[in-house]
Copies of this chain bind each other. A is one copy, B any other.
Amino acid sequence: MDFKSYITGFVDGEGCFSVSFTKRSKLNTGIEVRPSFSVSQKKFSLDLLKKIHEYFTCGAIRYSKSDGVYKYEVRSLSDITLYIIPHFQKYPLLTAKSKDFDLFVQICQMMTANLHRNHEYLAKIIDLAYQMNCSGKRKYQRKDLLKLL
């Protein structure tokens, strides 16, 4: 079996590309942008998360008490750029999640260019992020974030 293709298949079902926002008065824009790639599993599939962690050589596995699941997550922008994005460019997702991934890549590229520190580009990032499906419950509505800018 080709584990790289397996990972893409598994992530197409169980993975999540998301971008969340937090109010941070100390930042120039007032808003922190946090990209995240994650895969959650119950305890009996923890071994697979460990293999995925090993393969991507970045991120961490932690236990989420509220959901009762183990979550492999990569939050570092440079790790996402170096290890996560190139994998899914070489082994592309085949479900609607590929649209989330495309938006995620756009946002990460803008962040790498430090554009999220600029009000105008941050508004664009918020627009893109709120088109993604996989971000779970949003703390803020899109319009509330844009008002802050």
Q: Which among A5, A9, A47, A95 has the highest number of chain B CB atoms within 10 Å?
A: A9
A140: interface (CB < 8 Å): no
Instruction: List A1-37 residues whose CB lies under 8 Å from chain B.
Output: 1-14
Q: Complex: how many Å from CA A6 to CA B4? A: 8
- Shortest C-beta distance, A37 to chain B (Å), equals 15
Whether the pair A96, B9 counts as a contact (CB closer than 8 A) is no
Stretch of A38-46, A78-86, A111-119, A123-131 that contacts chain B: A38-46
A142: interface (CB < 8 Å): no
Task: Report B-chain residues with C-beta under 8 Å of the C-beta of A95.
Answer: 41, 44-45, 48
Whether the pair A96, B42 counts as a contact (CB closer than 8 A) is yes
